Amino acid sequence: MPRPSLTAAGQTGDETGEWIAFWDSAHSIYVNTRHRDVHYRTIARDICAHLPLGGHVLDYGCGEALHADTVAAAAGELFLCEAAPGVRDGLVDRFAGQRNIHVLAPHEAARLAEQSLDLVVLHSVVQYLTAAGAGGLFAVFHRLLKKGGVLVVSDIIPPSTSAVNDAFALLRFGARNGFFFAAAAGLIRTFLSSYWKLRSRLGLTRYSAAAMIEKLAAAGFDAELAPANIGHNRARRAFYARRR
């Protein structure tokens, strides 16, 4: 499921700004409460699989991050970066009692201390950025990560993947987690929603494995294709990128 972000400089382009406004609205992408909960629980579980124990972690474009406390339990410090102001305010309220969870706007994340992070997760963001915007973010993360630190870029859409793949991925996820019929109805709502109109008009940025590895290399990372994506959509890809 996509999550909004900003460019590296903390400014929105017109298209990115439209996506941020959508995710800050009362949208119906999550077909019910069960879907929303399991979606974020799955992401938290998968992030934990990459987590260095006690490390300093940035989840950039984190969305509602309902189960970020699971990640924080294994991390030394967890920084949640979210561009949508309303969603960010919800994060502040949700994790007010968690001393090692810090909620940031993108421009605040860009001002973190150089070489202070062990892991950065950029999940389901790149498809909403231009190639230049993604490259700028990778450069920021290279500056923030310690030497040998890891950037995980996930939910990358291959050129051959269509909306049909996304639909079947949601139905399979619903069948495994008890909301199959709600997922089927939700797909119809999505097709008629402002989300689909935005996706049809603006498109999504796609990368082959070779193109993503090359882009990460240009920002100073040694990158490789990961065995599996973060989240439920196995038609999409994740990449490990280690800072040189």
Domains of the chain: 14-243 (3.40.50.150)
* Distance in angstroms (rounded) separating the CA atoms of residues 47 and 66: 13
pTM of the model: 0.91
Cβ atoms 123, 63 nearer than 8 A: no
Q: Which amino acid is at 141?
A: F
Bigger pLDDT: 202 vs 62: 62
Average the pLDDT over 50-64 and give the result: 95
pLDDT at 199: 85
pLDDT of residue 197: 85
- What percentage of the chain carries pLDDT values higher than 70? 94
pLDDT at 7: 43
pLDDT at 15: 66
Q: What pLDDT score does 241 carry?
A: 98
Residue 135, number of CB atoms within 10 A of its CB: 16
pLDDT at site 27 = 86
Is the confidence at residue 14, as pLDDT, over 70? no
Position 11 scores a pLDDT of: 43
131-164: pLDDT as tens digits: 999 999 999 999 999 999 999 999 999 999 999 9
Mean pLDDT over 35-45 rounds to: 98
